């Protein structure tokens, strides 16, 4: 897989990899693995709100428009 990154990000990755004494590929693999194994990465779809509005019948034209009699 190929990923295009900005030169600034590439520099930050190189610097961090040198600090840790590992290759950039190993650093990227660690970062991706940590990100994917984090609990917030495996969230379910957000729950939709439930509105308990009671029984609602069909609206009359007068309920929608001001000009109706």
Separation of alpha carbons 31 and 47, rounded Å: 29
CB-based burial of residue 59 (10 Å sphere; 0-12 exposed, 13-18 middle, 19+ buried)? exposed
Instruction: Convert the pLDDT of each residue in 1-39 to its tens digit.
Output: 788 989 999 999 999 999 999 999 999 999 999 888 877
Q: How many CA atoms lie within 13 A of 67 on its CB side?
A: 0
Separation of alpha carbons 13 and 31, rounded Å: 11
What's the pTM value of the predicted model, to 2 decimals?
Answer: 0.52
List C-alpha distances in Å: 68 to 56, 60, 63. 21, 9, 8
């Amino acid at each position: 897989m190929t990923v295009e990154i900005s030169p600034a990000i590439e520099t930050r990755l190189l610097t961090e990899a040198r600090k840790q004494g590992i290759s950039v590929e190993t650093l990227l693999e660690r970062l991706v693995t940590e990100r994917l194994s984090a609990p917030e990465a495996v969230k379910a779809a957000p729950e939709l709100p439930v509105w308990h509005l009671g029984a609602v019948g069909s609206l009359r034209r007068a309920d929608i428009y001001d000009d109706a009699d």
